[in-house]
Amino acid sequence: MTAEAQEFLTFTLGDENYALDILTVKEIRGYESVTKIANAPPFIKGVINLRGDIVPIVDLRIKFNVGKVTYDEFTIVIVLHIHSRIVGIVVDGVSDVVSLTKEQLRPPPDFGVAFNSRYLLGLATVNEHMIILVDINELISSEELGLFETAESPAAKP
Tell me the pLDDT tens digit for each residue of 114-152: 666 778 889 999 888 899 999 999 888 888 777 876 434
State how far the Cα of 101 lies from the Cα of 118, in Å rounded to an integer. 20
Give the Cβ contact number of residue 92 at 10 Å: 22
Q: How confident is the model at residue 154 (pLDDT cuts 50, 70, 90)?
A: very low
pLDDT tens column, 36-52: 999 999 999 999 999 99
Phi, psi of 24 (to 5 degrees): -85, -10
Among 97, 80, 99, 88, smallest CA distance to 4 is for 99
The answer to whether residues 10 and 96 touch, using CB atoms and an 8 Å cutoff, is yes
